[in-house]
């Protein structure tokens, strides 16, 4: 009688702990990618000469897909953090994104900067309206 690996893993006592550690690893990997991307923007070719950022981003993205698939297969509940944690992270990510946008637009023409900033603001507004109003 052959048993599948996922039902065996589903009933183990350590599965929630391993899943929580996997979630923490994803958060740390995402933060590491943010640091590497910031270094790459501040010092061009400092990071990309040593590490392929597209491969790093693709691996983080595939790990997020695997995390979601495991949460569905193993019936693991992903609890959302408290509201103040979400707001703090949102403010931090917003400031980080604005800083990167300002640094990347440093030598653009003024009309292009205004157009890009308006489009980014519109996309942020639409993202907030569509996805965050549940």
- The domain total for the chain is 2
Q: Are 6 and 73 in contact (CB under 8 A)?
A: yes
Give pLDDT, residue 1: 45
Q: How far apart are the first and last CA of the chain?
A: 45
- The 10s digit of each residue's pLDDT in 62-111 is 998 888 888 888 777 777 778 887 788 888 888 888 888 777 777 778 88
Q: What is the mean pLDDT of the chain?
A: 80
Nearest to 78 by CA among 20, 133, 7: 20
Range of the domain at 130: 81-134
Asked whether residue 42 carries a pLDDT value surpassing 50, the answer given is yes
Domain match, 92 and 130 both: yes
Percent of the chain, pLDDT > 70?
A: 87
Domain match, 75 and 85 both: no
The model scores a pTM over 0.75? no
Domain match, 129 and 73 both: no
Domain match, 70 and 87 both: no
């Amino acid at each position: 009688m052959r048993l599948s690996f996922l039902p065996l893993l589903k009933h183990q006592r350590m599965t929630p702990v391993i899943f929580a550690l996997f979630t923490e690893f994803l958060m740390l990997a995402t933060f590491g990618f943010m640091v590497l991307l910031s270094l790459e923007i501040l010092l061009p070719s400092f990071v990309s000469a040593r590490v392929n950022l597209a491969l790093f981003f693709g691996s983080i993205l595939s790990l997020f897909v695997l995390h979601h698939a495991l949460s569905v297969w193993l019936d693991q509940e992903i609890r959302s953090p408290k509201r103040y944690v979400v707001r703090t992270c949102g403010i931090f990510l917003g400031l980080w994104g604005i800083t990167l946008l300002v640094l990347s637009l440093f030598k653009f023409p003024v009309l292009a900067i205004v157009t890009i900033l308006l489009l980014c603001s519109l996309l942020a507004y639409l993202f907030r309206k569509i996805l965050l109003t549940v």
